[in-house]
Structure 1
């Protein structure tokens, strides 16, 4: 993967045998990330919240489903899922989706500069199974419906402006979104076992009311070149968007999506993979694949939501697995960063960093009860590298 220099001169050892059949002639790719010592060290004993963290890190509970957010009069939503942080003066706002159907929507918690909760509010209501989404550079939250013919809703993290459905971004089983200000595109994952990967090109950057939906086209291998093709009917009816373009590449259960520095990463839960696209070179490859970890000792399984830090580290949350958030470093090492104990019937969702990079927010969607009404949203504070 080597995110600081995407392409390497050669692929060696067993990696060459694995990828030999899928490499384009003349191209060479890095091996997917392998287990190793993480940059933050080993996990310690579980803290009072049941979370194992590296030395120097602490956790606290921010909110619980169906309970009032401490210090506010707002009741936190069921099944907290995808989330993002937005700067708010000297403080910030953490927005979180609700993956229930019907109802869905999203809520938000507001913090001051010291991290004290100062308020909480609703930003979206009356939608269906809002799973993941993504932040835009103009400070809106794209909340995505993970249902057949689902929509993307553009919302105001402050809860002042009414949310708007963005039909031009297509109707399909949406999962996550990631904005690319360089190419003025928004990338979109699709949570289907034969789903696709899309980009939306708005007619005017900053205005998602109109534009062109495109689907990634490529061969069947795990690495190679890719291109984009227009989706003729983004409405997805009567023909699903993923079935409208010949050569559209299939991905097994698209989940989280993250853009940084000319690369977009996304996860596929059906095969426990993290993919990366080098957008300038129009090349794709695997950043991680649990089946390529020798000895069946993969530290990361059940890949789901993903975010990144300023250091170039990826933080990938597990749906199941060991209830970990794992870190994948720019040096292609994957290791657990934290582990939530006693919640095996849940999944980790919504990882997002505060604007200063010192706090990581995430949720356990079903908490200790295993029910959508048992969701717990956490904050982890510590010496994150920059």
Structure 2
């Protein structure tokens, strides 16, 4: 175990809570992890909440990222430090081919105070708007200056996958009715220069609903519709302000999109956490066939929570097309032991590990990722606030 919550890091700051999405990088001779912290702060501002000490996007927010430098032989922490501070609900994200981590805010709360009609609960009132992606270079040795990538959209972001050849960024949205997006950057590797945000649509099926009644291996021709205003002010009070723009142009609906991963062929795998007739989860794959067209296939749909329940973060196992899937079935009334599952390309699924923690029995797994050499898998137990290192002979896995 490494990077435990509240442990004092090399920069003198306590390790933040709520470990979530992360990735591994080779920086020179070093192995590094850039790790998210999905800190919500009860969705209200708190003075001096920033996890860093220098550069905060919004110092009333306790989310952000930490970077861990790992000894690849002993798998222990050499040093660790805050690398992004002052963001909110940093859930997942994804790596870029140019050596950075994109961390995503899973909220659109901002300066406006929201009041829920049912119970009067107040949220919002922050110093700055939220709901953006931020880029953290893996090579950074201290806190970076936060810059929201507003052209990539203001919505309840979840995960990111970047095409190595084109630089196109694919993104998921975690809402009951959510979209699958792509960002076409103006300049390869320079996301801050802007670009065009688009949402996936099923050809000749406007507002197609993928959430139920989908046969496994169902395949659809798809295209993309452009989001005219990727950063609407109305997102302060309307979490679906971007999504609704896409729907009006015929975009498709998904059920709570979370994990997202891309393979060497440019095929993008993504998880619909509550998709399917049993609401236990779906795994989809998108494959581009031209610049603006592609096809999408339902690889797997869980028939019950005993098989797969609420798939969240995903990653590909080394030298294979098998997916490692983190479960997130830790909600009140939906309690289920969370597993790490393995999905084979032919649709067969198997258990890899279970959360057997006595103190945190409902904690989700998050941030599964392999080291660049493929020898070690790192994964988080979110509520426990700890990163685990798992190693062995991965070549012994058989289809």
* TM-score, length-scaled by structure 2: 0.75
For the pair 1:67 / 2:7, whether they are aligned, the reply is: yes
Cα distance in 2 for residues equivalent to 1:328 and 1:105: 30
Give how far 1:190 is off: 0.6
Cα distance in 1 for residues equivalent to 2:85 and 2:355: 29
Please tell me whether the aligned partners of residues 74 and 120 of structure 1 are also in contact (alpha carbons under 8 angstroms).
Answer: no
The 3 A distance-change label for structure 1 pair 72 and 329 is farther
Cα distance in 2 for residues equivalent to 1:167 and 1:72: 30
Cα distance in 2 for residues equivalent to 1:226 and 1:351: 29
Q: Structure 2 matches for 1:303-322, cutoff 5 A?
A: 303-309=311-317, 310-320=319-329, 321-322=336-337
The 3 A distance-change label for structure 1 pair 163 and 298 is same
Cα distance in 2 for residues equivalent to 1:74 and 1:109: 13
Secondary structure of the residue aligned to 2:86 is: coil
For the pair 1:382 / 2:399, whether they are aligned, the reply is: no
Please tell me whether the aligned partners of residues 200 and 223 of structure 2 are also in contact (alpha carbons under 8 angstroms).
Answer: yes
The 3 A distance-change label for structure 1 pair 290 and 204 is same
CA offset digits 1:254-287 (Å, max 9, x no partner): 1010011221011111221111112227111211
Cα distance in 1 for residues equivalent to 2:180 and 2:14: 35
Secondary structure of the residue aligned to 1:350 is: strand
Q: Which residue of 2 aligns with 1:18?
A: none
Please tell me whether the aligned partners of residues 99 and 128 of structure 1 are also in contact (alpha carbons under 8 angstroms).
Answer: yes
Q: Structure 2 matches for 1:347-366, cutoff 5 A?
A: 347-366=364-383
Secondary structure of the residue aligned to 2:151 is: helix
Q: Which runs of 5+ in 2 are unaligned?
A: 41-60, 109-129, 236-240, 276-280, 330-335
The 3 A distance-change label for structure 1 pair 353 and 105 is same
Give how far 1:299 is off: 2.4
CA offset digits 1:12-46 (Å, max 9, x no partner): xxxxxxxxxxxxxxxxxxxxxxxxxxxxxxxxxxx
CA offset digits 1:157-213 (Å, max 9, x no partner): 233443322111111111110001233200000111111010001001100021111
Bigger relative contact order (CA 8 A; separation at least 6): 1
More deviation in 341-350 or 184-193? Answer: 341-350
Cα distance in 2 for residues equivalent to 1:298 and 1:287: 18
CA offset digits 1:275-323 (Å, max 9, x no partner): 11122271112111112xxxx4742211100111222211110002432
Q: Which residue of 1 aligns with 2:69?
A: 110
* TM-score, length-scaled by structure 1: 0.77
Q: Which runs of 5+ in 1 are unaligned?
A: 1-60, 368-374
Please tell me whether the aligned partners of residues 193 and 251 of structure 1 are also in contact (alpha carbons under 8 angstroms).
Answer: yes
The 3 A distance-change label for structure 1 pair 379 and 73 is farther
Q: CA RMSD in A?
A: 1.9
Please tell me whether the aligned partners of residues 196 and 249 of structure 1 are also in contact (alpha carbons under 8 angstroms).
Answer: yes
